[in-house]
Chain A
Amino acid sequence: MRKYLLGMVAVVLAIGFSAFTKESNPKSSTLTAQDFIYNDYPDDTWIGDPAHYTLATSSLSCSGTAHRCGVTAENDGNDHPVLTGATIFRKN
């Protein structure tokens, strides 16, 4: 049993950390994530407002770092993204 002790401690810590990370970001869930285009690119003024995003009909093609292009996030039911926990894509 001693041979397994360190490994079991590592497993327990890993499960605890992943649960803690998920708890602190409860919106990152098991629901289906979708792509949303940010309507006001390259103006970053409204990046925090879900109403300024449109559900993408095809895969996002963003490549860069300068301004927000779109996000992958859960749909809030009104075809707008839940921005908490969203994956952000940027474009130059």
Chain B
Amino acid sequence: MRNSTLNTRIIEIISALFIFLFVYTGISKLSEHSNFRSVISHSPLIRSQANFYSWFLPIAELVVALLLLIPVTRKWGLWISLVLMCLFTGYIAYMILSSSQLPCSCGGVLKQMSWSQHLAFNGLFTIMAGLGLWFYQTNKRFIAINRISRTPV
């Protein structure tokens, strides 16, 4: 029971950190939408769909934050968070490797980070998303085992 409670707390903390990140960056991107669209229109990878991504990305972040907030949909929120963070990290890695040196199309104060700092930041959050899902699965197994064994803990 203690393990299950600890796992649940860890999942809640990881989810709260992602909620904070996605709500902050989503709102920042929407509030500076024209600037954000202008910056990604210079990106070699997504410039052809800059208008679409300028709306899709911040809205997706807010939707994922909502999924993480609701306990029933938290698992889906963690999965989508992991996918999003992998995509963002891959994009940053590409920008670094291509040495394009364009300004970061990040939200809020994150745009003050260098590309390398942002890569480390995103990498950390990607690992956290993976950990959140791992704890989620561990918690499910723990509860299932106890249910089967009918042993009070």
Contacts and interface: CB of A to CB of B under 8 A. Distances in A.
B24 A17 contact: yes
B71 interface: yes
Interface residues of A, number: 35
A8 B23 CA distance: 11
Interface string A4-20: 10111111011101100
B132 to A, nearest CB: 13
A56 to B, nearest CB: 11
5 contacts: A4-B69, A14-B23, A18-B23, A59-B41, A65-B101
Interface in A1-54: 3-4, 6-11, 13-15, 17-18, 21-22, 28-35
A69 to B, nearest CB: 10
Size category of the B interface is 35 or more
Contacts, number: 88
B76 to A, nearest CB: 15
B28 A59 contact: no
A74 to B, nearest CB: 8
B103 interface: yes
Contact of A6 (B12, B42, B102): B12
B38 A30 contact: no
Interface string B87-130: 00000000000011111000011010000000000000000000
Q: Which of A7, A31, A60 has the most CB of B within 10 A?
A: A7
B16 A7 contact: yes
Contacts of A77: none
